[in-house]
Amino acid sequence: MTTEALQPATAQAAQQGSGESMRMMRTLGGIALLSGCLLSLVYQGTRERIALNFESRVRNAVFALLPGSTQQKTFEFTGVDETGKETPFKVYAGYDEAGNFIGTAMETSDGDGYGGEIRLLFGYLPDKDQVVGITLLLCKETPGLGDKIKTDDGFKSNFTPLDVPLNPDGSALAVPLSFVKSGKGGGPGQIEGISGATISSKAVFRALCRGTDMMLPVIRRRLAELKEGMT
């Protein structure tokens, strides 16, 4: 076949093709437009409720962690994390009916759980130098094994309460937290793991270490601000 013979045929096909592709583009464009309109409507309609849901989930967890708290205020502080980087974090401060400061709750996380990232909220009473409990916000650990970190009473009792005094100049924990096997704990700052869920309980321990190391000194420094919160 010569090129001359080919040309008319291809030209015709190209013309036909362009009509076809116009049709395709029109259809896809039309459907995309419709889809965009529908989605933005639904997004507008649900956005507020979704934000509210996320807020109330954290809110309820904070109230549950801080005994006697009925009011809440959120603060944004900055601390230096373990790599020496300035990191912003949120402090949920809890107050009683009369507006007296009770304690704070902070979110912390660890990426090396058995099922990926775990995130938790821990309650902290600066006046007593105590951690008073943890609540898992995100936990993808194996059901029946790793997810015992949510339910195991022995493990929970590590944190109800856990004494975390700061050193005299308030720059770090007086006794660094340490991880021990189940049944071997009892010393200051020791957290007993769950046998059968070592990786998951270690992830909780690391998350808590990271959180306390970075946040507690900052909270100590800015305690006055927190206490004035509700007035």
Partner 1 sequence: MSDQQDSSPSMDVLLRGFWKENPVFVMVLGTCPTLAVTNKVINCFAMGISVMFVLVMSGLLISLLRNFIPKQVRIASFILIIATFVTMVDYAIQSISLDLYDSLGAFIQLIVVNCIILGRAEAYASKNGPVKSMLDAVGMGLGFTFALLCLGVIREALGNGTLMMDTPFEISLFGPNFAPWSIMILPPGGFFVLGLELALFAWLRKRRARRTAAAAQA
| Binding site residues, partner 1, CB under 8 A | 20, 23-24, 27-28, 31-32, 34-35, 38-39, 42-43, 45-46, 49-50, 53-54, 57, 138, 142-145
90 strand-pairing partners: 76
By beta-carbon proximity to partner 1, the closer residue of 40 and 178 is 40
Give the DSSP H or E segment for 216.
helix 198-221
First to last CA, the chain: 91
By beta-carbon proximity to partner 1, the closer residue of 23 and 221 is 23
Tell me the two tokens of residue 21: 């592709």
By beta-carbon proximity to partner 1, the closer residue of 35 and 78 is 35
Instruction: Tell me the closest approach of the beta carbon of residue 43 to partner 1, in angstroms.
Output: 6
Neighbours of 127 (CB within 10 A): 10
By beta-carbon proximity to partner 1, the closer residue of 45 and 187 is 45
Q: Taking a C-beta distance cutoff of 8 angstroms, is the pair 118, 204 a contact?
A: yes
By beta-carbon proximity to partner 1, the closer residue of 57 and 221 is 57
Total length of the chain: 231
Cβ neighbours for 115, distance < 8 A, ≥ 6 positions apart: 139, 140, 141, 142, 146
Distance CA 161, CA 148 (A): 19
Instruction: Tell me the closest approach of the beta carbon of residue 21 to partner 1, in angstroms.
Output: 9
Phi, psi of 188 (to 5 degrees): -65, 135
Phi, psi of 129 (to 5 degrees): 55, 45
By beta-carbon proximity to partner 1, the closer residue of 143 and 186 is 143
DSSP state of 157: G
- Cα separations (Å) of 138 from 22, 52, 115, 118, 148? 48, 18, 11, 5, 13
